[in-house]
Amino acid sequence: MRAEVARMRVEVARICAEVARICAEVARIRAEVARMRLEVARKRVEVARMWPEVARI
């Protein structure tokens, strides 16, 4: 019985580690997406600043 419980605990620990790894990956991807959005916002500001010059041409 004890061996079975120990095996189950090891299995649960393994699953928890896997879930934690996936969560870390998701967090990394979210951070990357946030960075990209910031970059897009910067480009929009850049284009907005340039727009009057472009409109004159």
Q: What is the pLDDT along the chain (57 residues), one digit of tens a residue?
A: 899 999 999 999 999 999 999 999 999 999 999 999 999 999 999 988 888 877 776
* Domains in the chain, number: 1
Q: Which residues of 8-19 are buried (b: 16+ CB within 10 A; e: fewer)?
A: eeeeeeeeeeee
Q: Look-up: residue for tokens 């095996």?
A: 7
Q: Please give the residue range of the domain that contains residue 25.
A: 1-57
Report the pLDDT value the prediction gives residue 57, as an integer from 0 to 100.
Answer: 65
The DSSP 8-state label assigned to residue 1 in this structure reads: -
Indicate whether this model's pTM tops 0.75. Answer: no
At 34, which amino acid appears?
A: A
Report the pLDDT value the prediction gives residue 34, as an integer from 0 to 100.
Answer: 98
Rounded to an integer, what distance in angstroms lies between the CA atom of residue 35 and that of residue 40?
9
